[in-house]
């Protein structure tokens, strides 16, 4: 009887974990370096008045390639934690910029539903990052996207 009771308690401990740890994915210097081999899920060209000067949207020769690390897609309107999206902007003569967004989660930047914003160099090394990158300009414009701050895939 006593033994059975102990056993029951033990089982409870292992199977009934009340609150799982909040999941967090923190990108590091290796997270973006192979982006060019990821899933190229959108490619946009030329001027886009909605962009203004952002992402070279005022350059008629601009090419904007959007790579999703594992081809992630939103689930019930939300991208999974660990989603990494890189946008490479170039024109007919030169590389212009790499930007990225990462679904970090765990309460990070809850005003932006857990997204962290990045500027990368041509090889995917991190130049700058944060919740409020470029004084909030990234978030300000991406808040207009219809699904979870992402324009190109819903
Ligand atoms: C003025 C609006 C605007 C600003 C500012 C802006 N973006 Fe974007 N961004 C867009 C649009 C629109 C797209 C969709 C692709 C396109 O039209 O080129 C996009 C696409 C992206 C993508 C690919 C995922 C997606 O949403 O389709 C990433 C990553 C990205 N932007 C990161 C950033 C980062 C980081 C910043 C700040 C450094 C930033 N953006 C600033 C408008 C903007």
At 119-133, the pLDDT tens digits run 999 999 999 999 999
The pLDDT score that the predictor gives to residue 20 is 65
CA distances from 71 to 13, 38, 147 (A): 37, 7, 16
Q: Which atom of ligand 1 is nearest to the CA of 153?
A: 27
Residue range of the domain that includes 44: 22-142
Q: Per the domain annotation, does 10 fall within a domain?
A: no
Average pLDDT, the chain: 90
pTM summary value: 0.89
Q: Per the domain annotation, does 34 fall within a domain?
A: yes
Q: Per the domain annotation, does 38 fall within a domain?
A: yes
The pLDDT score that the predictor gives to residue 17 is 62
State pLDDT tens for residues 1-55.
444 444 444 444 455 666 665 599 999 999 999 999 999 999 999 999 889 889 8
Which CATH number characterizes residue 109's domain?
Answer: 3.50.70.20
Q: Per the domain annotation, does 3 fall within a domain?
A: no
Query: Atom 3 in ligand 1: which residue has the minimum CA distance?
Result: 141
Q: Per the domain annotation, does 153 fall within a domain?
A: no
Q: Per the domain annotation, does 56 fall within a domain?
A: yes
The CB of 117 under 6 Å from ligand 1? The reply is yes
Q: Per the domain annotation, does 17 fall within a domain?
A: no
- 140 C-alpha to ligand 1 centroid (Å): 10
**Total domains, the chain:** 1
């Amino acid at each position: 009887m006593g033994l059975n009771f102990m056993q029951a308690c033990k089982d409870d401990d292992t199977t009934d974990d009340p609150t799982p740890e909040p999941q967090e994915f923190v990108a590091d210097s290796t997270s973006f370096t192979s982006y060019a081999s990821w899933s190229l899920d959108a490619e946009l060209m030329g001027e886009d008045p909605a962009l203004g000067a952002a992402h070279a949207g005022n350059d008629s020769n601009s090419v904007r390639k959007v790579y999703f690390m594992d081809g992630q897609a939103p689930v019930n309107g939300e991208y999974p934690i660990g989603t990494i999206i890189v946008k490479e902007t170039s024109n007919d003569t030169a590389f212009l910029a790499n930007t990225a967004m990462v679904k970090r989660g765990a309460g990070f930047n809850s005003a932006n539903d857990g997204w962290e914003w990045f500027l990368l160099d041509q090889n995917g090394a991190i130049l700058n990052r944060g919740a409020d990158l470029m004084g909030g300009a990234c978030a300000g414009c991406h808040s207009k996207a219809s699904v979870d701050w992402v324009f190109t895939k819903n």
